[in-house]
Structure 1
Amino acid sequence: MGPTGPIDSAAVLAAQVGARLRALRTERGLSLSELARRSRVGKGTLSELESGRRNPTLETLYALTTALEVPLSTALHTTGTAAEISGAAVSAVLTERFEDASAVTETYRVRIRAGSAQQSEAHTPGTTEHIVVLAGTALVGPLGAPALRVGPGEHASWAADTPHTYQAPAGDVEALLVVRYPR
């Protein structure tokens, strides 16, 4: 409980992520306008995110961290909580971030909602994604290529430095997603 009632975890997450995005932007010497242009996120939206007045979506965070040339977890791992970030079709919780000299590797617990599809923009060059499906059947992989059908207990990998998709054609999909960004 906070001093005036229950702590709103979404508001805390928005404030922490917003502060981290602002710090990353200023470390790179980018103006608000320049980051908005590079990420294709509206300047007003970006301003609201940085001030913690707006909850980030998964798609928006990926657009911003890709434009900043950092892994998604760079904006999330400083929050100290296992908060869920949701997008149009996918919800994700960062469960692990591992760094070494060659790469940053992130592990997420993800849910792809039934009947939904999400198209993700290309991540930084050399990024790969790996999925292990726990329940349901997912269609994943690069756009323009036949989708990889992955069922319970199965796994797939693809280059994530090109636009790619996540789909749950029938029923929710529960999975683990590993994203590896080379240094």
Structure 2
Amino acid sequence: MDSPDLPHLIGERLRAARTEQGLSVGGLAQAAGIGKGSLSEIENGTRNPTLSTLYGLANALGRPLSWLLAEQVGAQVSSPGIAARLLDTSATGPSGTDDDVTVEVYAIRLEPGSTHVSQAHGPAVVEHLLVVRGRVAAGRQGAEVTLDTGMSTSWVSDGPHSYRALDERPADVVLVIRWEPDGAGPA
């Protein structure tokens, strides 16, 4: 993470959402697939979580990743082989509540030699990926497509999906995620 205040903001948001939903530290940790001690450190702002950990927590809470990142444009998180920087986020629904559609835009750098596997985000989450530089295999596991610079693809993120740079140099992509709560999904 590149912002010194971001770990504390993430921790505050996690604790507030967990409490609001009546979850214990152990309950949220189990739902997110992480250790209870790790979650406690993240909530206290003393641990920098990986991209995979943040997605696990966001999914368990039914929130978009950008919400955990406090909608801070420029916030950057990573996991081995992948780094994501939030470029933009907006709620597109008219109500200004959690029922709104959220659109997130990320710049992602994929390092050669590693595959990033992302778990399901839900039936109402659609990802659109555009390759800016390099060659990439991306999409739902078992149905990945190979994309060259300038090519794009999209998929519903209701199952595991992956991203992989195919050449011996990093690949850059732009990922747009359309997130709707409660499985409403696009018509």
The answer to whether the superposition gives a TM-score over 0.5 is yes
Q: Tell me how far 1:81 sits from its aligned partner.
A: 5.2
Residue equivalent to 1:106: 104
* Aligned positions, number: 174
Residues 145-180 of structure 1, C-alpha deviations (whole Å, 9 max, x = no match): 2x2111111111111111000001212111110011
Could you tell me which of 139, 163, 179 is aligned with 1:141?
Answer: 139
1:142–1:158: 8 Å Cα contact kept in structure 2? yes
SS in 2 for 1:77: coil
Counterparts of residues 22-37 of structure 1 (less than 5 Å)? 22-37=15-30
Structure-to-structure mapping, 1:28-107, within 5 angstroms: 28-78=21-71, 80=72, 82-101=74-93, 103-107=101-105
Q: Give the superposed CA RMSD.
A: 1.6
Task: Note the residue ranges of structure 1 that are not aligned, 5 or more in a row.
Answer: 1-7
SS at match of 1:59: helix
Partner of 1:166: 163
Q: Which residue, 11, 16, 36 being the options, matches 1:18?
A: 11
Cα offset, 1:77, TM superposition: 2.9
Give, as a single letter, the amino acid of the residue that structure 2 aligns with 1:124.
Answer: G
The residue aligned with 2:97 is none
In structure 2, the gaps of 5 or more residues are: 94-99, 182-187
CA distance in structure 2 between the aligned counterparts of 1:135 and 1:9, rounded to whole angstroms: 23
Relative distance call for 1:9 and 1:176 in structure 2 (3 A) is: closer
Q: Greater CA deviation, 82-91 or 10-19?
A: 10-19
SS of 2:23 mapped into structure 1: coil
User: Residue 14 of structure 1: CA displacement?
Assistant: 1.2
Secondary structure, aligned partner of 2:69: helix
Give the aligned residue type for 1:125. P
SS for the counterpart of 1:47 is helix
Identity %: 39
Within 1, Cα distance between the matches of 2:138 and 2:73? 28
The answer to whether the 8 A contact 1:40-1:63 is kept is: yes
Match for 2:20: what amino acid?
Answer: E
TM-score normalised to the size of structure 1?
Answer: 0.89
Distance 2:2 2:31 in 1: 29
- TM-score, normalised to structure 2's length? 0.88
